[in-house]
Structure 1
Amino acid sequence: MTDALPAVVAGLFGLLAGSFLNVVIHRVPLKESIVWPGSRCPNCRSSIRAYDNVPVLSYLVLRGRCRSCGVHIPARYPLVELLTGLLFFAVALRFGLTLALAPALVLVAVLVVLAATDLEHRLLPNAVVGPAAVAGLVLSVPARPEWWWVYPVSGLAAGAGLFLIASLYPGGMGMGDVKMAAMLGFFLGPYAFLAVFLGALLGTLVSVALIAARRMGRRSLIPFGTFMAAGALVVLFLGPALWNGYLGLF
């Protein structure tokens, strides 16, 4: 139980962080401040009281509706809170109280924001990707000092690789995807390439399934950033094992 206590604390903190991430997901695409005003209903603009702002629980108590105007609150809000809490818990179990924990937690928070924003708005905001890239370098290098040059090189290479693909196949992906790939390199080092590959693989499989089910057209655009975020999460937990397993095939 003692070993799990930091993970439980991280999970509870993740629930609170998820509440803030919802603000970022909603306001950044609208170019609104994420600091002021405080939490409010997007419909009636009424301030949300503290007892109505408890992660997940308040949504259940209010049955998914605003107390003031009764409008339905999107399910994305409790889902983001719950997902962030679970991911923070898992990351704390995976890395423990080490220097690698801080960049992992920051990366998870950023991936949740980017995945949701790209899914809802087909947008990977510079206001999120840019600061995250800086944070990746600042936090990752102390956790693994011998890779002080690997992280920046990986970021530049991953960004350059996707920029080349975007240039050769215009319309297939945007510059937001290119910048996100570079950011992943600053956090994950060379494993960022594996994250991009897994994201592309997952995106292709989902697209084929949706096309087969006639839920999407052949020329429809997919939120590649969302799938790349999923690939990055897999790599965060299993990157070295997957890579070593791949090399073992040869």
Structure 2
Amino acid sequence: MTPADLVPLLTVGAVLVGVFGLLIGSFLNVVVYRVPNGLSVVSPPSACPGCGEGIKPYDNVPVLSWLVLGGKCRSCREPISARYPLVELAGGAAFVGVAWWWTASTGLQATPTAVIASGLGLVAFLYLAAISLALGLIDLDVHRLPDRIVLPAYVVLTVLLGTASIIAGDPGALGRAAIGGVVLAAFYLVLAFVKPGAMGLGDVKLAGVLGFALAWLGWEELIVGACGAFFTGGLFAIVLLATGRARRGSGIPFGPWMLLGAWIGIVAGAPLADLYLSSLGLA
């Protein structure tokens, strides 16, 4: 099969992944609102916050329904925040981006065993992308990283990435991931004790999840991802201070920057590390 023959297949795959991402984004809107309030994410069905009218299935199509309704409830015409379709679009874009990155990084696998291992890895990072969106928005909204999302991630990623490692004949990746998770969580725990209030226990728990995923890919990804959080978060804080939008001591949630830094490490950790070492003449 030539590269030209793969174009239609990859295009169809990207569309399917994007549509699935839109649907996940729609669900994430529910998660972001209900989880911090201690509500179930499955019941009751979604309803208009203004009139309480249940949302019909044909009014719950990601992005399209919001556009058709003009951003308003069909029943009471109460405005519906543009954040809903934006989160749905973010879900679709994130899933397509992760699938593209994974395919470019691992290539198309030739054997059934390799396909299964690669598929499990892709699912793991799609899952990480989904909870990253949810946790980032929740932390911005309420300055919390709920255990209901963070703690299950340990189990899900261990099962998916651990199984992928064993099937691919690379059990060392699982051991490296475990070390990375422990080290990064311990680092954040020390920061939380050294400077109370700067880091919360939610940050510590999330650090373990991110350290696990980053180290599974490699040590370079872990180092870049960990440093990326402080670089992007620090840069943002400087901008806020310089523009007068924040003062010293202002509470700025760090979770979104941990997640952003981690994804920088996931997607570009190895080349960024090589570029840095080359600039020092060490590579």
Report if TM-score (shorter chain) is over 0.5.
Answer: yes
Cα displacement string for residues 51-107 of structure 1 (whole angstroms, at most 9, x for unaligned residues): 111111111222222222332222221111101101111111122362321111011
SS in structure 1 of the partner of residue 52 of structure 2: coil
Structure 2 gaps, min length 5: 1-7, 104-114, 166-170
Give the counterpart letter for 1:31 in structure 2: G
- Residue 172 of structure 1 corresponds to which residue in structure 2? 198
Is 1:28–1:125's contact at 8 Å kept on the other side of the alignment? yes
Distance 2:85 2:152 in 1: 25
Shift, 1:187, TM fit:
1.7
Identity of aligned residues (%): 42
Distance 1:52 1:182, change over 3 A: same
- Residue 113 of structure 1 corresponds to which residue in structure 2? 134
Is 2:224–2:264's contact at 8 Å kept on the other side of the alignment? no
- Residue 195 of structure 1 corresponds to which residue in structure 2? 225
Q: Which moved more, 1:37-46 or 1:208-217?
A: 37-46
Q: Which moved more, 1:89-98 or 1:31-40?
A: 89-98
Equivalent residue runs for 1:166-245 within 5 Å: 166-189=192-215, 190=219, 191-245=221-275
Partner of residue 30 from structure 1, selected from 15, 25, 37: 37
Give the counterpart letter for 1:206 in structure 2: F
Is 2:185–2:205's contact at 8 Å kept on the other side of the alignment? yes
Distance 2:265 2:206 in 1: 15
Equivalent residue runs for 1:60-139 within 5 Å: 60-96=67-103, 98-99=118-119, 100-139=121-160
Distance 1:43 1:192 in 2: 45
Give the counterpart letter for 1:220 in structure 2: S
Is 1:159–1:182's contact at 8 Å kept on the other side of the alignment? yes
Q: Which moved more, 1:234-243 or 1:171-180?
A: 234-243
| TM value normalised by structure 2 | 0.84
Give the counterpart letter for 2:235 in structure 1: L
Shift, 1:193, TM fit:
4.1
Q: Which structure is larger by alpha-carbon Rg, 1 or 2?
A: 2
Is 1:104–1:236's contact at 8 Å kept on the other side of the alignment? no
Give the counterpart letter for 1:114 in structure 2: L
Higher RCO (CA 8 Å, separation ≥ 6 residues): 1
Structure 1 gaps, min length 5: none
Distance 1:40 1:234, change over 3 A: same
Q: Could you say what the CA RMSD is over the residues aligned between the two structures, in angstroms?
A: 1.6
Partner of residue 15 from structure 1, selected from 15, 22, 38: 22
Q: Which moved more, 1:63-72 or 1:195-204?
A: 63-72
SS in structure 1 of the partner of residue 156 of structure 2: helix
Distance 1:44 1:173 in 2: 39
Distance 2:48 2:266 in 1: 34
Partner of residue 153 from structure 1, selected from 155, 179, 197: 179
SS in structure 2 of the partner of residue 149 of structure 1: helix
Is 1:14–1:88's contact at 8 Å kept on the other side of the alignment? yes
Distance 2:82 2:261 in 1: 23
Partner of residue 277 from structure 2, selected from 231, 247, 250: 247
| TM value normalised by structure 1 | 0.94
- Residue 108 of structure 2 corresponds to which residue in structure 1? none
Distance 1:28 1:6 in 2: 31
Is 2:223–2:265's contact at 8 Å kept on the other side of the alignment? no
Give the counterpart letter for 1:122 in structure 2: H
SS in structure 1 of the partner of residue 9 of structure 2: coil
SS in structure 1 of the partner of residue 10 of structure 2: coil
- Residue 112 of structure 2 corresponds to which residue in structure 1? none
Give the counterpart letter for 2:227 in structure 1: F
Q: Which moved more, 1:110-119 or 1:235-244?
A: 235-244
Matched residue pairs, number?
250
Give the counterpart letter for 1:147 in structure 2: A
